Amino acid sequence: MAKTKKTLPPGIGTVLKRLHYPVDVILLCVRWYVAYSLSLRNLEEMMAERGVDVDHSTVHRWVIKLVPLFEKAFRRHKRPVGTSWRMDKTYVKVGGRWKYLYHAVDKAGNTVDFLLRARRDKTAARRYFEKAIGRNGEPETVTIDKSGANRAALEALNAER
């Protein structure tokens, strides 16, 4: 168990130290929740079958605490994306409210970045492009739909550069 803590990034190790379950159980539950389409109650049942009594709400708290830390730690190891992006947006229901999900992929299908916003406008599109370019560098080409907001955001960014 001590070996697992030493291989984790410092911020994650600090959070895990304060939790009252074995590190292996916590990491396994969070990994299964993120990697597979399992519900929290499925994980509660699976852990009970293994002799670990954990409530689904406890697993949910682990996910909320650890997933942002994992994302931050693992972003440094993300493979570089290509220079030709295909950007699109869709809307998804989050917490009972509709949000716009901006996302782009490169030619190989690798995710460039994503951003959830409440509105679909030039400001949101610009924020997405600034975030994606800041993390992945400038693309050579960006393919977009006929959205005026996307076009306006790209034109404004190009004018500044």
Mean pLDDT of 87-110: 87
Note the helical H segments in the chain.
Answer: 2-7, 10-17, 23-35, 40-49, 56-75, 122-136, 148-160
pLDDT in tens, 11-69: 777 777 777 888 889 989 999 998 888 899 999 999 999 999 999 999 999 999 888 88
Q: Specify the pLDDT at position 54.
A: 93
The pLDDT assigned to 48 comes to 95
Q: Which two tokens stand for residue 159?
A: 């004018």
Q: Tell me the three state secondary structure of residue 88.
A: strand
* Average pLDDT, integer, range 130-146: 88
User: At what angle are helices 56-75 and 23-35 packed, to 10 degrees?
Assistant: 80
Cβ contact 87:157 at 8 Å: no
* pLDDT (mean) for 96-112: 88
92-96 average pLDDT score = 84
Q: How far is CA 68 from CA 6, 11, 15, 106, 161, in A?
A: 19, 11, 12, 24, 32
pTM: predicted TM-score of the whole model, two decimal places: 0.57
Task: Note the pLDDT of residue 1.
Answer: 45
Do 56 and 99 contact (CB within 8 A), yes or no? no
